[in-house]
Amino acid sequence: MTVSRDLPAVAPAPGRTDYAALVREDRVHRSVYTEQHIFDEEMVKVFGGRSWVYLAHESQLPEPNSFRSVRMGLRPVIVTRDRRGDLHAVFNRCSHRAATLCREESGTAKSFQCPYHGWTFRNTGELVGTPWPKGFGPSFDKSEHGLHKVARVESYRGFVFGTLNESAPSVVDWLGPAAGWLDYWVDRAPGGEVVVRSAAHRMGYRGNWKLAYDNAGDGYHPAFSHRSLLEMASRMGDAKDMAYFGRSPDEGPMRTYMLGNGHSVIDQRPNYDGPGSFWANQRPQPGREWFEEKIRAEHGADADRLLDLTIGSQINLSIFPNLLVIGNQIQVIEPLGVDRTQLTWHATTIGGVPPEVNTMRMRTQEDFPAFGEPDDQANFEEVQRGLAAPEAEWVLMNRGLDVPGWQEVGPDGVVSSTATDELHMRRYYAAWLEMMSEGTAR
């Protein structure tokens, strides 16, 4: 156990926060969810200043000169492909007087002209034109006024990440064992072809962004937070998908794996047995009966594989700080303020399957955003309200700590535990603490 230390009565000045006093082995201080100055520092350090953050999926940038507007923390960023198709990311912030250049969500453009005074930049960031150039003195050097570039942009299996840290490890090294789980998710699609669709559930909640990350690796909450969904699913008899979270999950085969750098995964697959089992256990989607009959009639022995592809991956993969790969969706955590967050659920289709398989994927991907996630987010908002009490200082994350027999080290060195262990939080807060403490006086 960490030795107890009293916090200073007055919040320390920004940049001098003693983060080690806020994150203990078994608990974390409420202020990391409520304090503006901590949030401001997170938006610099955790969201790109030190390490990688998820920016976009390559299918959202389908051709040379494609672009897409995103956020990197609070920074407006444009992810682009140049004319050869190579990926870049630049701040969506004119180097003249700071206006955003690009106000479209996506499209294709070789260059961006600022709507304010007409400066023009190549999609790789170089300044190429300033209207009426004679008005700039002899010391003005266009090459010094390109757009601020995201120092490094790298993609792994279609997932595009960026960092402002020149000396960060490669994305694949930073992902570590998480890369293998992304492989599983991508390789479910024939030929690995995953397409992010334009329609997304963009859900906002009035709470800190980390509440979403806490929850993404939490196998403890479903039996309670999702009672409405489990109850609804049993309307017609037998319990369906996720019911196993309610039947003492600690005795079941489901595990959570710690993947380093704050990443983790819950593997729900051991709750299923064999081809067709994902499909059989899914809550019923519109058109299910006609679809199953058609697929079985037309695809014979291959039908179970196709049916299962309409259902989620049964892994909950959390890539710190902002990427959650859950079901068939790519979720992105987008902080908007210390107590306001957007959680975007990007729906996906896949290549190499009959079109009705993708239609059924859409119907499946509507289920949880409608009847599951709203109850989670209602709880996030109530956590944020609870955190308003300053005298109750700590948020616990001690389930599983020092419990004999829970944590195991696999042959690959990966630590795993039962899915209700709060190890996910303890591990990612260790990564968070390291990032937040770097470059500050301690």
Q: In the complex, which residues of this chain contact ligand FES (CB under 6 A)?
A: 94, 96-97, 99, 114, 116-119
- Within 10 Å of residue 198's Cβ, how many Cβ atoms? 9
Least distance (Å) between residue 308 CB and another protein: 19
Distance separating alpha carbons of residues 7 and 46, to the nearest angstrom: 23
Q: Is the CB of 76 or the CB of 253 nearer to another protein? A: 76
Question: Per DSSP, which regions of 123-216 are E strands?
Answer: 127-129, 152-156, 159-163, 194-205
Beta bridge partners of 75: 72
Distance separating alpha carbons of residues 180 and 186, to the nearest angstrom: 10
Q: Is the CB of 28 or the CB of 333 nearer to another protein? A: 333
Q: Per-residue x/- mask for another protein, residues 290 to 309, rule CB under 8 A?
A: xx-x----------------
Residues 282 and 364 sit within 8 Å (Cβ to Cβ)? yes
Which of 68, 77, 95, 25 lies closest to 423 in space, CA to CA?
A: 25
Q: Is the CB of 10 or the CB of 132 nearer to ligand FES? A: 132
Decide: is 232 part of the binding site for another protein (CB under 8 A). Answer: yes
* Contact positions with another protein (CB under 8 A) in 316-375: 342, 347, 349, 355-356, 358-359, 362-363, 365-366, 369-371, 374-375
From the list ligand FES, another protein, Fe ion, none, partner contacted by residue 290 (C-beta under 5 to 8 A by kind): another protein
From the list another protein, Fe ion, ligand FES, none, partner contacted by residue 191 (C-beta under 5 to 8 A by kind): none
Least distance (Å) between residue 341 CB and ligand FES: 29
Residues 178 and 260 sit within 8 Å (Cβ to Cβ)? yes
Decide: is 240 part of the binding site for another protein (CB under 8 A). Answer: no
> 304, 339, 376, 421: which one contacts Fe ion (CB under 5 A)?
376
Decide: is 203 part of the binding site for another protein (CB under 8 A). Answer: yes
Q: Is the CB of 77 or the CB of 114 nearer to ligand FES? A: 114
**Which residues make Cβ contacts (< 8 Å) with residue 119, sequence separation at least 6?**
94, 95, 96, 113, 127, 129, 130, 131
Least distance (Å) between residue 420 CB and Fe ion: 13
Q: Which residues of 325-342 are buried (b: 16+ CB within 10 A; e: fewer)?
A: bbbbbbbbbbbeebbebb
Distance separating alpha carbons of residues 381 and 87, to the nearest angstrom: 37
Least distance (Å) between residue 343 CB and another protein: 9
Cis ω on the peptide bond leading into residue 64 (within 30° of 0)? no
Tokens 């996906």 sit on residue:
348
Count of residues interacting with another protein (CB under 8 A) = 49
Decide: is 367 part of the binding site for Fe ion (CB under 5 A). Answer: no
Decide: is 59 part of the binding site for another protein (CB under 8 A). Answer: no
Alpha helix (H) residue ranges in 167-276: 171-175, 178-187, 210-216, 222-225, 227-233
φ, ψ of residue 415 in degrees (nearest 5): -85, 135
Distance separating alpha carbons of residues 349 and 355, to the nearest angstrom: 9
Distance separating alpha carbons of residues 84 and 344, to the nearest angstrom: 30
N residues, the chain:
442
> 132, 235, 390, 411: which one contacts another protein (CB under 8 A)?
235
Least distance (Å) between residue 97 CB and ligand FES: 4
Q: Is the CB of 106 or the CB of 111 nearer to another protein? A: 106
> 19, 91, 161, 205: which one contacts another protein (CB under 8 A)?
205
* Kind plus residue range of the DSSP H or E element containing 375: helix 373-386
From the list ligand FES, another protein, Fe ion, none, partner contacted by residue 110 (C-beta under 5 to 8 A by kind): none
Name the one range near another protein by CB under 8 A: 174-182, 283-291, 296-304, 408-416.
Answer: 283-291
Least distance (Å) between residue 104 CB and ligand FES: 16
Binding residues for another protein, rule: CB under 8 A, are 197-206, 225, 227-229, 231-232, 235-236, 283-291, 293, 342, 347, 349, 355-356, 358-359, 362-363, 365-366, 369-371, 374-375, 377-379, 381-382
Binding residues for Fe ion, rule: CB under 5 A, are 376
